[in-house]
Amino acid sequence: MKKVFLYLYPIKEYTSMFLFHDDNLYDKWKVKRPLPILNECIEKRYRENGYQVVFALYPDKEIFCIIPKKEDKIIYTDILFSDNSAIDEFGNTKKNFIPKYPNLPLLIKQLGNIEELVIGGYHSSDCVKRVEEMAIKMGINTMIDFDLTDLFFGLYKQEDYFTIEQFNPNKYMEYLQIEKYEEENNQIKL
């Protein structure tokens, strides 16, 4: 039995939404570039702690932004990206679009016999959550590393919260409560 870190859908279409449109802006605004930090987190949190790193991709897309190692594994969904995208190949919004989701048991079975699953990737409140729920139904000890979902692009800049070496679910919950408290106080002052 093994431990797996599964990163969902590291493709250009998803990642690019969270990057500055001009790479030079990171230097101009003195903001750390996120992708080297994301790669370092995967290395330190998972590879160095005995997890097999697995990337789930659509069969018609290539990995983007993540630097896979030779020991990593890539698994594929049973649907194409276009089946799950509200935008067509010309950039137009599809009319009456209903997304199609991958067969999750089939996706998870590609991981093999595992005792522990940690999930990251896109999107924390949809695909990541769906995979987590299915893995739990399948009897797999599962958790989400919210730091390494699409939330990463806001969290990694929070020096009082974010650490490269580990995800702490309790610290994450505290962080959410602080954020909620600040939002409520700002509304009262208005």
Please tell me the pTM assigned to this model: 0.90
Say if CB 132 and CB 119 are below 8 A apart. yes
Give the model's pLDDT for residue 185. Answer: 54
Give the model's pLDDT for residue 183. Answer: 54
Confidence of residue 159 (pLDDT cuts 50, 70, 90): confident
Virtual CA dihedral for 182, 122, 7, 130, nearest 10 degrees?
90
Average of per-residue pLDDT across 7-21: 95
CATH of residue 137 = 3.40.50
The domain total for the chain is 1
Q: Residue 123: is the preceding peptide bond cis (ω within 30°)?
A: yes
The residue segments making up the domain with residue 127 are: 2-189
User: How far is the C-alpha of 116 from the C-alpha of 2, rounded, in Å?
Assistant: 7
Give the model's pLDDT for residue 179. Answer: 55
Give the model's pLDDT for residue 175. Answer: 84
3-state secondary structure of 152: helix
The residue behind tokens 């919950």 is: 173
Computed over every residue of the chain, the mean pLDDT equals 91
Virtual CA dihedral for 112, 53, 107, 147, nearest 10 degrees?
130
pLDDT in tens, 117-153: 999 999 999 999 999 999 999 999 999 999 999 999 9
Name the more confident of 87 and 45: 45
